[in-house]
Homo-oligomer: A and B are copies of this chain.
Amino acid sequence: MLAEIITIGDEILIGQVVDTNSAWMGQELNKIGVSVKQITSVSDQAEHIKQALDEAQQRADLILMTGGLGPTKDDVTKLTLSSYFNMPLRRDEATLAHVTDIFARLNRPMIEANIKQADVPDGCTVIQNKNGTAPCMWFEVNGKIFVSMPGVPFEMMYLMEEEILPRIKKAFNLSSIIHKTILTAGLGESFLAQQIEDIEDQLPSHIKLAYLPKLGQVRLRLSGTGADEEALEKEIEHFAQQIMTRIAKHVVIDQDIALEKAILDQMEAKGLTLSTAESCTGGYISHLITQHAGSSAVFAGGAVAYSYDLKESILGVKHETLTTFGAVSEQTVKEMAQGAISHFKTDYAIAVSGIAGPGGGLPGKPVGTVWIAVASKHKVEAKLFTFGSKRIQNIERSAMAALTMLLNLLKQDLN
């Protein structure tokens, strides 16, 4: 089944906003067995929107639109759809009540433009938008389905998850799709593929394996279609187990979550605590950890020790270690990790010290040289990495490498 996405709004075309909606929608549609044929971003102009609709419905059966539903005059999507489908506007009382209620709760006066948000093309199905004032509209015309949603990401996501995706499954009578994701770290896509080639070759035609690589991690996603959901789930689980046994060393978890979240969950289950001692990653690792709700159960805190002084005073790195071996060295990074454990009183710690660049390279230590250590109360391990010349990439890759090392240390200790 083919779908197209049309995003409407000048702000995308002038580059003020990055269109993250389409990628998210593409992922979610794929999960229910719908392929996106084309994504089209058009301006807030009626003729342009109509042309995009003409072209899209020649290629696809489902056309999902986002944007252009605000109360201001530059938003023309609703009027354009009214004219395109030849459906005059009618005032929808349920929508009016919803909009009125929102303004009452915010204690703000309603103006004519807000009331007009309750006008909808007569002939579409109105789906209430709990997170905003613009209603979602569902059209069935000439055997095709057209859906118009607001462009605000969290309004669109909620509507898709709660209303649109279930209705799409029903309208197109899609067979169930079951997905199982295995998060791996530390081995590249092509090497993983080599190791599980024979398992992949044995997959029946209704089960597909996708490789989704990102920054040193690869997600393996098994997706199966079939009528008997229970049998399908068992079948996919069987292949997932085969794969996980084969590449056990590289499996983080059999869930579709972030690497640091998988670590937090494991540590929380065992009542373990973590701290960080960051130099070149500059707080990025603790930011990754603390963006997850509930991280405070595991994460006590950390130090961003850019200067020699702070490495000594907060982390207890010895002055002579710094002067003898330098800040970017095995000795320093190990003392940073051990210092974090003793000063921050945690069970585990991560330490990173490197040259993120673009400046700061030293003889024998070019930009991209990064030492990473992970420590428990009984053990400390350090490893040297040589990344590239780009600062942001070096920070991101260092963080992922550090988290992967921590995961491996946890595996050794907990198994």
Q: Please choose the segment from A137-145, A174-182, A240-248, A287-295 that sits at the chain B interface, where 4 or more of its residues have CB less than 8 A away.
A: A287-295
Q: Please choose the segment from A73-81, A226-234, A304-312, A371-379 that sits at the chain B interface, where 4 or more of its residues have CB less than 8 A away.
A: A304-312
A32 at the interface (CB under 8 A from B): no
- Contact A48 to B41, CB < 8 A, known contacts A26-B12, A357-B293, A358-B293: no
Give chain B nearest CB distance to A236 CB in angstroms.
Answer: 19
- Give Cα distance in the complex from A59 to B313, angstroms: 64
Number of copies: 2
A414 at the interface (CB under 8 A from B): no
Give chain B nearest CB distance to A79 CB in angstroms.
Answer: 20
Q: Which residues of chain B are near A301, meaning CB under 8 Å?
A: 303-307, 310, 314
Give chain B nearest CB distance to A321 CB in angstroms.
Answer: 17
Give chain B nearest CB distance to A221 CB in angstroms.
Answer: 10
Once the chains bind, are B30 and A15 in contact (CB under 8 Å)?
Answer: yes
Once the chains bind, are A391 and B283 in contact (CB under 8 Å)?
Answer: no
A36 at the interface (CB under 8 A from B): yes
Q: Which residues of chain B are near A109, meaning CB under 8 Å?
A: none
What is A's interface to B at a CB cutoff of 8 Å? 12-20, 22-28, 30, 35-43, 48, 52, 55, 154, 212, 276, 278, 280-287, 289-291, 293-296, 299-307, 309-310, 313-314, 343-345, 356-360, 390-392, 395
Q: Which residues of chain B are near A38, meaning CB under 8 Å?
A: 13, 40-43, 48, 52
- Give Cα distance in the complex from A215 to B145, angstroms: 36
Q: Is the interface of A mostly helix, strand, loop or mixed?
A: mixed
Given contacts A283-B304, A291-B395, A294-B359, 9 further A-B contacts (CB under 8 A): A13-B36, A15-B22, A19-B39, A276-B304, A281-B290, A282-B299, A301-B303, A301-B305, A303-B303
The 10 closest A-B pairs by CB, nearest first: A282-B290, A15-B26, A283-B286, A283-B283, A15-B27, A39-B41, A15-B23, A301-B310, A283-B287, A301-B306
Q: Which residues of chain B are near A16, meaning CB under 8 Å?
A: 23, 27, 212
What would be 11 A-B contacts, judged by CB atoms less than 8 Å apart? A13-B39, A15-B22, A16-B23, A39-B41, A40-B40, A55-B55, A293-B358, A296-B307, A301-B303, A301-B310, A313-B343
